[in-house]
């Protein structure tokens, strides 16, 4: 089986990183993968280092129709069995049209839970034999928007457990963030945008800081809300307890040092940071929104609260900060869950089954 993967992201995180995990694991299943991506994008080098043939395209933004012809050229010359489109940014439309023009079957991965204009959905999704959602919640959005359920499959995102279970030295972690061994460390790993719920957590913090004076909260990530969050931190007099520490490329190696990961998002497709936290053995408090309950199992590896409920959020955090044994039990269960359901091998097998279904092949390689 020979596949062409189309990934249009410029940076190596989120969906692009998932494509690297997928291509790597597909090699073990005897699948030959090739990649087409924007010229100079971050995914090109690691893919090449894996022995993946990389085609760099020169198309620009979402409306650049040249992407269709460039993908079609690669499909025609490469004798690929199937095209797997992994991103939006126009790739989902132009990639599907390219495959149609070459009479090559195609599948599309969908990683976000926002609804699309009905006209765009009617144009785009019929180009694909299957649409692969990374969570049941995203699948429900798709079928609610008109995608036939028979064309939908769910294959969740993955995280290599070993990346999360090789922590930086404890002293290095403490020094980097000006912490002491006495601190209770709560982290939020998410873009600084409104729907991630940072403001809700800040609203809950004054009472938590009063109850747990050693509490330190780290906000990992960047985004348009940074200045607004800084003002809120100042208004609540939380400057000594909250740090905005930006993007940290080794976040997976930091998570086992957190006492608790909090994810107060109002909407979420799945949340790779939650999978990383589970793999690292970090207990989680999160809002039961979107695909979050698919990785945070209430009472198993974390606690779920209603989105937007500050009181519930505060109580759940306080309950776990005050119960070290409970945190440890949730963390151990999270490690087991991440290994069994969210590993790259599991994710690759799920995608491989979709390919075989589309192509009419046996999936005997999985046995």
Task: Give the pLDDT band (50/70/90) at residue 12.
Answer: confident
Q: How far apart are CA 114 and CA 112, in angstroms?
A: 6
With contact defined as beta carbons under 8 Å apart, do 84 and 3 qualify?
yes
Residue count (the chain):
367
With contact defined as beta carbons under 8 Å apart, do 38 and 57 qualify?
yes
151 shares its domain with 275 = no
Position 11 scores a pLDDT of: 83
Position 117 scores a pLDDT of: 84
Q: How far apart are CA 296 and CA 276, in angstroms?
A: 11
The mean per-residue pLDDT over the stretch 125-139 comes to 95
112 shares its domain with 175 = no
Position 115 scores a pLDDT of: 84
128 shares its domain with 19 = yes
Query: CB neighbours (10 Å) of residue 200?
Result: 22
Q: Is pTM beyond 0.85 here?
A: yes
Indicate if the pLDDT at residue 56 is higher than 80: yes
The mean per-residue pLDDT over the stretch 172-201 comes to 97
Position 60 scores a pLDDT of: 82
119 shares its domain with 20 = yes
220 shares its domain with 328 = yes
Q: How far apart are CA 290 and CA 269, in angstroms?
A: 6
186 shares its domain with 278 = yes
Query: CB neighbours (10 Å) of residue 303?
Result: 25
283 shares its domain with 184 = yes
196 shares its domain with 281 = yes
Indicate if the pLDDT at residue 363 is higher than 80: no
Q: How far apart are CA 128 and CA 192, in angstroms?
A: 33
The mean per-residue pLDDT over the stretch 260-283 comes to 94
297-322: per-residue pLDDT in tens?
A: 999 999 999 999 999 999 999 999 99
Position 286 scores a pLDDT of: 98
Number of folded domains that form the chain: 2
214-230: per-residue pLDDT in tens?
A: 999 999 999 999 999 99
132 shares its domain with 168 = no
Measured CA angle at 59 (ends 21, 152), to 5 deg: 45
Task: Give the pLDDT band (50/70/90) at residue 364.
Answer: low
CA 9, 12, 16, 17: dihedral to nearest 10 degrees? -170
113 shares its domain with 216 = no
Higher pLDDT, 272 or 22: 22
Higher pLDDT, 367 or 288: 288
Indicate if the pLDDT at residue 71 is higher than 90: yes
**Which domain covers residue 28, as residue numbers?**
2-158+343-366
12 shares its domain with 90 = yes
319-360: per-residue pLDDT in tens?
A: 999 999 999 999 999 999 999 999 999 999 999 999 999 999
Position 84 scores a pLDDT of: 98
Which three-class secondary structure string do you get for the chain?
Answer: CEEEEECCCCCCCCHHHHHHHHHHHHHHCCCEEEEEEECCCCCHHHHHHCCCEEEEECCCCCCCCHHHHHHHHHHHHHCCCEEEECCCCCHHHHHHHHHHHHCCCEEEEECCCCCCCHHHHHHHHHHCCEEEECCHHHHHHHHHCCCCHHHEEECCCCCCHHHHCCCCCHHHHHHHCCCCCCCEEEEEECCCCHHHCHHHHHHHHHHHHHHCCCEEEEEECCCCCHHHHHHHHHHCCCCCCEEEEECCCCHHHCHHHCCEEEECCCCCCCCHHHHHHHHHCCCEEEECCCCHHHCCCECCCEEEECCCCHHHHHHHHHHHHCCHHHHHHHHHHHHHHHHHHCCHHHHHHHHHHHHHHHHCCCCHHHC
Distance of CA 228 to the CA centre of its chain: 25
Distances from the Cα of 139 to the Cα of 110, 131, 159, 270, angstroms: 9, 9, 21, 11
With contact defined as beta carbons under 8 Å apart, do 107 and 82 qualify?
yes
Distances from the Cα of 179 to the Cα of 176, 186, 260, 276, 277, angstroms: 8, 12, 15, 22, 20
251 shares its domain with 351 = no
CATH number of 244's domain: 3.40.50.2000
Query: CB neighbours (10 Å) of residue 17?
Result: 20
Q: What is the mean pLDDT of the chain?
A: 94
Distances from the Cα of 266 to the Cα of 271, 332, 343, angstroms: 12, 27, 26
């Amino acid at each position: 089986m020979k596949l062409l993967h189309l990934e249009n992201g410029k940076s190596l995180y989120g969906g692009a990183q998932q494509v690297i995990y997928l291509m790597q694991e597909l090699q073990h299943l005897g699948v030959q993968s090739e990649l087409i991506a924007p010229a100079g994008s971050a995914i090109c080098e690691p893919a090449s280092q894996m022995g993946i043939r990389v085609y760099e395209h020169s198309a620009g933004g979402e409306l650049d129709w040249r992407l269709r012809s460039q993908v079609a050229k690669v499909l025609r010359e490469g004798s690929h069995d199937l095209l797997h489109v992994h991103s939006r940014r126009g790739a989902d439309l132009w990639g599907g049209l390219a495959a149609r023009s070459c009479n090559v079957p195609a599948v599309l991965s969908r990683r976000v839970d926002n609804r699309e204009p009905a006209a765009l959905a009617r144009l785009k999704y019929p180009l694909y034999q299957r649409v692969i959602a990374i969570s049941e919640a995203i699948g429900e959005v798709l079928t609610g928007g008109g995608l036939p359920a028979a064309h939908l499959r769910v294959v969740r995102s993955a995280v290599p457990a070993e990346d999360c279970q090789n922590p930086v030295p404890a002293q290095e972690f403490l020094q980097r963030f000006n912490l002491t061994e006495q601190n209770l460390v709560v982290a939020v790993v998410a873009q600084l945008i409104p729907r991630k719920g940072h403001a809700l957590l800040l609203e809950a913090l004054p009472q938590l800081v009063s109850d747990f004076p050693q509490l330190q909260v780290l906000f990992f990530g960047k985004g348009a809300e940074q200045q607004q969050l800084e003002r809120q931190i100042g208004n609540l007099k939380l400057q000594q307890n909250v740090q905005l520490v930006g993007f940290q490329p080794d976040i997976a190696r930091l998570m086992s040092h957190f006492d608790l990961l909090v994810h107060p998002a109002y909407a979420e497709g799945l949340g790779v940071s939650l999978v990383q936290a589970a793999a690292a053995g970090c207990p989680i408090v999160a809002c039961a929104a979107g695909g979050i309950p698919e990785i945070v199992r209430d009472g198993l590896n974390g606690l779920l609260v209603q989105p937007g409920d500050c009181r519930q959020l505060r109580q759940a955090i306080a309950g776990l900060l005050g119960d070290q044994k409970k945190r440890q039990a949730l963390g151990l269960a999270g490690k087991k869950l991440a290994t069994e359901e969210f590993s790259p091998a599991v994710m690759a097998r799920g995608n491989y089954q979709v390919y075989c279904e589309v192509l009419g092949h046996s999936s005997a390689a999985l046995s």
